[in-house]
Amino acid sequence: MDKKISMISVLRLGHRLKRDERVSTHVGLVARAFGAGEIIYSGDKDNNLINSIRKVTKKWGGPFRVRHEKNWKGVIKKYKKNKFSVVHLTMYGLPVEKRTRALRKIKNLLILAGSEKVPGDVYAAADYNIAVTNQPHSEVAALAVFLHELNKGKETKFRRAKIRIVPMERGKKVVEK
């Protein structure tokens, strides 16, 4: 029987105050919306960022955890010790479509989502360097498409949501509890 993925964590590398605020927020929201269980921000400590993701989870449901860790190397080391496989999303890696089937069998995944400059040793620390197209685009897009593929496009179910959208052809419909 296949082992199923039971925990997906996302580690955002090298967050910088101000400059990365919005992109890092998008990375966190994508992690949550596409089925990861947590996001860890490394780089600058940014309480606004962390609070904004927590607010979304409180309103739209979870479970989804957020925290800051200064030392990304320490995070990778700890997760590897806890039997996580490490996937680094990079335009230089092997095409995602050639690896998803294998990756779906892994039990625990730590996904590294880089910012502009990723240190060379990230490539060595990762078990898999995976490219979502070998073109320059966006870590937000790479994470979304990767998780979407990993979950075969299945939508994540959220618990304890205070608010929920009723999909519509036109207009906005929201149900509050």
Chosen residue from 8, 11, 13, 30 binding its own copies by CB under 8 A: 30
Residues 68-127 that bind its own copies (CB under 8 A): 91-95, 97, 123-124, 126
65 binds its own copies (CB under 8 A): no
The angle, 0 to 180 degrees and rounded to 10, between the axes of the packed helices 47-60 and 21-33 is 30
Stretch that binds its own copies, among 2-10, 69-77, 103-111, 142-150 (CB under 8 A): 142-150
- Rounded-to-integer distance, Cα 66 and Cα 47, Å: 11
Stretch that binds its own copies, among 8-16, 68-76, 103-111, 140-148 (CB under 8 A): 140-148
Instruction: For the CB of residue 75, give the shortest distance to its own copies in the complex, in Å.
Output: 20
Q: Where are the alpha helices (DSSP H) in the chain?
A: 21-33, 47-60, 72-81, 100-103, 121-125, 139-150
165 binds its own copies (CB under 8 A): yes
Under 8 Å between Cβ of 125 and 141: no
